[in-house]
Amino acid sequence: MSVPERMDAVTRESLNIINALRRGTVPGSGLGRIAVGLEVEGRAISQQLDYVAGGGGDIKCVRGDYGSGKTFLIARALEEAGTKGFVTSHVTVSPAQPLSRLKSVYQQICSGLRTNDGTIGLKGILDTWIYQVEERVIAVKGPEMDDKGLEEATVREIESALSDISRINSALAAGIRTYYLSNNAGDFQLSQAAVGWLSGEPNIGREFKAKAGIRGEIDDSIVVPFIRGLVRILTGAGYRGLAIAIDEAETMQGLAKAQRDKAYANLSTLIDGLDRGDLPHCFFLVTGTPAFFEGPRGIRSLPSLADRLSVNSVDGYPNPRQPQIALSRFDIKKLSQVAEKVIAVYSKAYREVDRTRVSHRFVKAMIQKVTSRFGGRVDVIPRLFLRELVDVLDKCELYEDYDPWKSYEFDAVQLPEGLRAEEEAAIIVKF
C-alpha cells in the first residue's frame, strides 16, 4: 500500500487498530468499530458521563471473569469520555501501587491524564487553564497591554480563581501559584518541581516548598481534596470533567488484611465523596473479578462497601444502571462478529480484503481450529485469535499466491506462544 502524503483520519485510525491487534493490545482509539455485545452497557455509561458532565459525580463497577472484556469496556468508556470533553486517566491497581495507598493512586491519575485534543499530563492541563485565564484578561483589558501589564493582571485573575481552590486546600493553591510565577519568570527548574509536587511525586526538594510556602507532603488524608482541586482546574480550562478507570481491583485480595481493609475503606471514602457531592465532575470506573465482589477476601469483608455496590438478583435481564455491570464470557458468536469487524477495519487500513480467500467459511473454520487448541475455551482466545487473523490478512494482502486454506496450520497439542500468565492458567485449570 502506498501511503499518501496526507493520510485521512479513517485510514490512520484503522492502521492504529490493526497495529494494536498485531501486538495483542487494546487499540487506543476506534474501539467502537470492533466492539460487539456491549450496546446496552455502553448506553448506560454514556448516560452516566452526561450526568457527570453536568456537575454530578458517579461510579460504575465492571465485574467479569478473565476474557469477558473488562479492559476493553473501560477503554471504550474512556474513549467516549474523551470525545465528550472529559480528561481521562487509566490506573492499574497492583501490589506495588495498591488502593490502600491513595497517594500512589493519585500519582498514577496525574501521570496518566489524557485529553481528546492531545494534551498529556498535569502540566498540559495547567498550561491550558492559565492560557484561558490570560485570554479572559486580554478580552477585558484589550490586546494593547504590554507583557508586564498582562502578567500583573493575569496574576490577579489567577489569585481570584485560586480563592476557590484555597478553600479546598491552601497547599494546592500555593503549588499552582508557584508554578505560574516560576514558569512566567523562566525558572523552569522551579516550575518543574511545582508540577512534580502537585502530581504527588516523592523527593521534591525543600527549596520548592520554601519558595511556595508549603509545609509537609501530599499524603492519603488530602488526596480527595487534591482530586477536587484538580477537577476545578480542568473544568476551568474548558473540560467537562475527569473520568478515572481503576483497573484490576481484584489484586487487592492478595494484600495483608490490614492493607486490604484500608484499601476497601479508601474505596468506600471515594463513593461517599461522590454521593455527598464532594467530587463534582468525577466519574470512576472500577473493574474486578467475581471473587472481588463476592469472595471472602473481596469487598464483602467490609459490609458497608459491599452494601453500596450490591446488585439485585439477575433474572435474565441485566441492569447496567445498577452499581455493577456484570459481563458474560466471550462466545463463538461474538468472536465471529469481531472477526468480521476487524476484516472491515483492515479493508480501510490497506485495501479491500479478498473474501474469496478469507471467506466467511474460512473464518468459521479458523475459529474452530483456534478454539480447539484451548479445549473449547473461547473466553481465553480473543487476543490471540485476532493476532492470527491479522497475520492471515497481512499475508493475503502481501502475497497474491498465498492460500490461507493450505498455509494456516498449527499443532493442536502444543500451546501457542505469547500467552499471558492468566491465559495459561485458564487453560491449565480447564485441563
Give me the average pLDDT of each 10-residue run along the chain (431 residues). 64 94 88 88 95 96 84 91 96 90 91 87 90 86 77 82 76 87 89 90 81 79 86 91 95 92 93 92 95 93 92 76 87 90 96 94 88 68 86 95 79 46 44 24
**Residue 250 pLDDT:** 92
Q: Could you tell me the pTM of the whole model?
A: 0.83
pLDDT at 422: 52
What is the H or E stretch that residue 407 is in? helix 404-407
Q: Do residues 132 and 237 touch, judged by C-beta distance below 8 A?
A: yes
H helices present in 142-168, as ranges: 147-168
Give the whole-angstrom CA distance, residue 87 versus residue 117: 10
Q: What amino acid occupies position 113?
A: L
Contact of 100 with 252, CB cutoff 8 Å = yes
- Which ranges in 199-256 belong to alpha helices (H)? 206-212, 223-236
Say how far apart CA 279 and CA 52 lie, in whole Å.
Answer: 10
> Please, is 256 exposed, middle or buried when counting C-beta atoms within 10 Å of its C-beta (0-12, 13-18, 19+)?
exposed
Query: What pLDDT sits at residue 46?
Result: 96
Check: CB of residue 335 under 8 Å from CB of residue 363.
Answer: no
Domains and CATH numbers, the chain: 38-115+241-326 (3.40.50.300), 121-222 (no CATH), 332-430 (no CATH)
Q: For 24-85, give the DSSP string.
A: TS--SS-GGGT--S-HHHHHHHHHHHHHHHTT-EEEEEEE--TTS-HHHHHHHHHHHHHHTT
Longest dimension (CA), the chain: 77
In whole angstroms, give the CA distance from residue 295 to residue 249. 13
Q: What pLDDT, on a 0 to 100 scale, did the predictor assign at position 353? A: 96
